[in-house]
Structure 1
Amino acid sequence: MLFTLEHPVGQADCHPALYGPEGLPGLAQAAERAGFNAIAFTEHPAPSLKWLRGGGHATLDPIAALGFVAACTTKLNVMPYLLVLPYRNPLLAAKSIVSLDVLSGGRLVVAAGGGYLRSEFGALGVDFDERGALFDEALDVLRGACTSEEFHYRGGHFEARGTAMVPGPVQRPHPPIWIGGNGRNARRRVARYGQGWSPLIASAEMAATTRMPAITTVRQLAEKVDDLRQLVAESGRDPASIDVQVLSPLSDVCNTKTSVERMHDHIGELAVAGVTHFVIRPPAESPSAAIDSITWFGEQFIAGQFNKEGQ
């Protein structure tokens, strides 16, 4: 099992130092020392105040934030989680993605989604009802622009006539693409385009808010992973090559509140279900609280007995 640290900027009590130049390097370097595989930032470029007051959350631009993190780490992978590809022209998205891959030395994993906030689509001038088609278009363009010396593509709202992606990505043929979402369409996209799937174990209420089917238990997740493997095999690819990253109610950890035994059991259950990466969210009230929690988690679950037993 590998672990991704989701940056706590979205937590209501996040200390400003954690997302500023004085605190972010220390947080990222602590995650790297603790053995985390990746650090992740989510995306909401134009949320409404109503959404924020109703339980939404703050964000940084993930490409900018991850570029900063890449500059102050050496091994930690960087991950937008999730990058909403329909929000932007796909060639602009591809340029940002490839640039981050270059500047990170090939440490980028692109966890992408189709988006769910209708008001945000409106604020960005994108048709909400076209998001599925725009998502597929962006995935086509990302792969094509990274692998073609001269890229031609007629999209729904643009036309590429012999464009070139220079410099190209470090990772070939392109950075890994993980598809977010709980529905079968997300798993179909993984089978067609992706190297990973990134669902959520969450309440039915949260699933409804994010406009996707609910996965509320590890058993349900295991059934969906089996379905994913079948879809990938039907596409002529090896199901074992696909990563599965999940966020669950136990992703929020603190060394004074989380039972080590309970977390061990949960991670073991996820591994049996086919999960390869688990998302962790540290406390955010201060840089010291976040770093202490990251260090504790690394000692207990990454470098500790749990991984030594090969689970």
Structure 2
Amino acid sequence: MRFTVDHPIGRPGCAPELYGPEGLRTFARAAEDAGFDAIAFTEHPAPSAKWLARGGHATLDPLDALAFCAAVTERLRLMTYLMVLPYHSPLAAAKRIATVDRLSGGRLTICAGGGYLRSEFNALHVDFERRGELFDEALDVLRDLWAGESYTGEGLRHTARGTVSTPGPVQLPHPPVWIGGNGRNARRRAARAAQGWSPLLNSADLAATTRTATLSTPADLAVAVDELRHFATQAGRDPAAIEVQVKSRHSDLGTGEAAYRSHREHLGELADAGATWFVVRVPGGSVDEAVGALKLYGREVIEAYRSERSGS
């Protein structure tokens, strides 16, 4: 199991210092030192005030924030979680992705979703009803753009005639793309054209809010992973090559030895169901609080869990 920390800008009461230059530098380095494998930022470029008032959250631009983190870390992978591909011209997105991947020395992972906020689609003049089509189009461009000397193709948001994107990314044929979402279509997309699938163990209410399917338990996840592997086999791909990253209610860590033990047991259940990555959220009331939580998680969960699973 590997571990992604979701930057706390998405949590209520996140201290502004954590998304200022010194605070973000401190947070990213602390995550790396604590043994986390990736740092993640989500995307909401133009949310409505209504959404924010009903539990939405502030964001940084994920690729810009990850470029900053690349400059202050050495090992940590850099993840968009999630990047809403239908919001972007696929060729423009490809250039930004290649830039961050190159400047980070090949550490970028694009965890992408189709989006669910109709008001945000409207604000960006993107057709909400065609988001699935736009998503698939963007995936195809990201897959094909660096495959040859030039790219020719046409879609809803691009027309390319011998287009080049240079310099390209360090990771070839392109940085890993993981598909976010709980539904069967997300698993089909991951099996067809991606390197990972990133579901959320959720409640029925949260599933309705985010316009996705309900996955409540590790047992539900195991069934879905089996289906993912079946789709990959049908597509002529190796199922074992597809990562599975999970976020759950346990992503927010409690305190005390009983909580740590329960958390590690949950990680074991997820791993047995087929998960290979887990998303962690830490509190963000201050830089010191966030850094302390990173250190605690690294010691009480990451180190202890890996020791338990290795049998040492």
Write the letter of the residue equivalent to 2:134.
L
Tell me if 1:78 matches 2:78.
yes
Check the 8 A contact 2:245/2:278 in 1, yes or no: yes
**SS class of match (1:80):** strand
Check the 8 A contact 2:91/2:158 in 1, yes or no: no
Q: Which runs of 5+ in 2 are unaligned?
A: none
Structural mapping, 1:168-207, within 5 Å: 168-207=168-207
Tell me if 1:310 matches 2:303.
no
Cα deviation, 1:173-207, whole Å, max 9, x if unaligned, reads: 10001000000000000111111000000111111
| Alignment CA distance shift 1:258-1:283 (3 Å) | farther
Structural mapping, 1:53-132, within 5 Å: 53-132=53-132
Corresponding residue number in structure 2 for 1:10:
10
**SS class of match (2:309):** coil
Corresponding residue number in structure 2 for 1:43:
43
Tell me if 1:152 matches 2:152.
yes
Cα deviation, 1:21-63, whole Å, max 9, x if unaligned, reads: 1200111001101111100000000000000001111100001
Check the 8 A contact 1:254/1:293 in 2, yes or no: no
Q: Which runs of 5+ in 1 are unaligned?
A: none
| Alignment CA distance shift 1:177-1:258 (3 Å) | farther
Check the 8 A contact 2:79/2:110 in 1, yes or no: yes
Cα deviation, residue 256, structure 1 = 5.6
Aligned length: 310
Alignment partners' CA distance in 1, 2:26 and 2:255: 19
Check the 8 A contact 1:254/1:283 in 2, yes or no: no
Cα deviation, residue 65, structure 1 = 0.4
| Aligned-CA RMSD value | 1.2
Alignment partners' CA distance in 1, 2:211 and 2:48: 17
**SS class of match (1:86):** helix
Write the letter of the residue equivalent to 1:207.
A
| Alignment CA distance shift 1:151-1:297 (3 Å) | same
**TM-score for both structures, normalised by structure 1:** 0.97
Write the letter of the residue equivalent to 1:224.
A
Alignment partners' CA distance in 2, 1:258 and 1:249: 16
| Alignment CA distance shift 1:48-1:85 (3 Å) | same
**SS class of match (2:81):** strand
Corresponding residue number in structure 2 for 1:210:
210
Alignment partners' CA distance in 2, 1:257 and 1:211: 36
Identity of aligned residues (%): 57
Tell me if 1:229 matches 2:224.
no
Check the 8 A contact 1:198/1:245 in 2, yes or no: yes
Write the letter of the residue equivalent to 2:235.
S
Check the 8 A contact 2:101/2:171 in 1, yes or no: yes
Alignment partners' CA distance in 2, 1:24 and 1:157: 34
Alignment partners' CA distance in 2, 1:151 and 1:282: 42
Write the letter of the residue equivalent to 1:39.
I
Cα deviation, residue 158, structure 1 = 2.5
Cα deviation, residue 298, structure 1 = 0.6
Tell me if 1:260 matches 2:263.
no
**SS class of match (2:29):** helix
Name the stretch that deviates more: 13-22 or 295-304: 295-304
**SS class of match (1:310):** helix
| Alignment CA distance shift 1:224-1:106 (3 Å) | same
Check the 8 A contact 1:255/1:296 in 2, yes or no: no
